[in-house]
Amino acid sequence: MPINPADSPVFGTLYGSDAARAVFDEGAWFGHMLDVEVALARVQGRLGIIPAEAAAAIAQAVTVLDAAELAASVRNVGYPVVGVVKALSRAAGPAGAWTHWGATTQDIMDSATVLQMRAGFDLIAAELDAVIAGLAHQARAHRATAMAGRTHLQHALPVTFGLKCATWLMPLLAHRARLAQLRPRVEMVQFGGAAGTLASLGDRGLAVMLGLAEELGLGAPLAPWHVCRDGLAEAVSYLGLVCGSLAKIATDIVLLCQNEVAEVFEPYVPGRGQSSTMPQKRNPIASEYILAASRGVQALVPLMQGAMAHDHERATGPWQAEYLALPQAFVLTHGALAHARTIAEGMVVDAARMRRNLDLTGGLIVAEAVMMGLAPHLGREAAHHVVKHACDRVIEGGALEGGMTLTDALMQEPEVARRLDREAVAAMTDPAAYLGAAGVFVDRVLAAV
């Protein structure tokens, strides 16, 4: 029975994705260790460090890893590489004596982990692009859809739903750029031998490291990074940032779909988000699991950053701690992105409800606009005083219950009535006429997409 719900056949669809689990599956990791060992043999065979025929035999060996045998080896040794090398050597026959030549356990495990991360980043990049495309479509479609902007959960000024989508989208564009920038720093081969000197290979150590990097399609570090864990820590920190931005979207969706607001909803499938006792419920399940996954990933960031404190030339504990965090972080982030994609591509937007909510306060949401509009006629200080007095009367008159509007109250102010007619004042109190540069900002974000 899985302990982590991200690995569960029941909860796994909510806490992760099959694709990410396949990449970070334990069996896939062991398979990558074999890939690294075979690539090492090929390189050393080409360089004449081991016999070419031995390299060929190792490369062609059909290696079957026996789970029970491997588990027994790991329990005894503490690492899987000894068991993996033993199985490969056995499969290669006499040539197996040349396997793992000059390498150390961490070379193989770290390089295999990097291969997993490379595939994991491919998944993250593809899903991130899909979320970006979905939000870009919504921003474009709702560029001019006016809605109430809210600060401290209260009406502030009118905005557009297109601007809100563009605001959700903007950090994701930065994350796309960050991913392209960090991958060369993270996707580097590990090969340093017992203590990072490759002394067992004499003067051929660097050539083998460079050749192994090329063989695996990875970058070559300036020197072995056995105890330089910033790349792995950066990778998980990056995933924490992605999840933070997704959590912002999910938080807004949860708030917008409340019955009292009812402006935006997650796409509905019959039975999705239902309650066991309340038939009317359509809970924002995707958003809830984005928030849960985000908290999980962000809790793993300190673990990875704390694991950077490796002692001397090989760590006693921090290295092992990384494996508790790294696969989880990738799986949970990919799952969160999949939920975000569902929302971005299929959200249900009620523009009419947005307009009704804008009008809830009888025009108070554009009090700033009215003040600025009256200032040329009355002077700024006098305009502020008049509008404040009118706002107080609207609040006392119960705008939420269909009482006095801001236009009504302003027309009762002698200074206003003498200078402007009702039509001019009503135009000032139209929320859709006070959107500032919202459309321009949407266009700028879309251009960056």
Residues annotated as part of the active site: 275, 314
What is the DSSP annotation of 70-120? HHHHHHHHSSSHHHHHHHHHHHHGGGGGGTTTT--HHHHHHHHHHHHHHHH
Q: Which of 91, 117, 88 is nearest to 179 (CA)?
A: 117
Whether 63 contacts 34, CB under 8 Å: yes
- β-sheet bridge partners, residue 154: 151
Amino acid at 368: E
Q: What are phi and psi of 66, to 5 degrees?
A: -85, 120
Q: How far apart are CA 363 and CA 365, in angstroms?
A: 5
At 129, phi and psi to the nearest 5? -60, -40
Pairing of strands 264-265, 348-349: antiparallel
Q: With 0-12 CB in 10 A as exposed, 13-18 as middle and 19+ as buried, what is 216?
A: buried
Give the closest residue to 33 by CA, choosing from 77, 69, 86: 86
For β-strands 154-160 and 264-265, DSSP reports them as unpaired
The answer to whether 246 touches 287, Cβ cutoff 8 Å, is no
Cross-strand partners of 159: 147
Is residue 329 within a helix (H) or strand (E), and if so which, with residue range?
Answer: helix 318-346
Determine which helix (DSSP H) or strand (DSSP E) holds 184, and give its type and residue range. helix 161-186
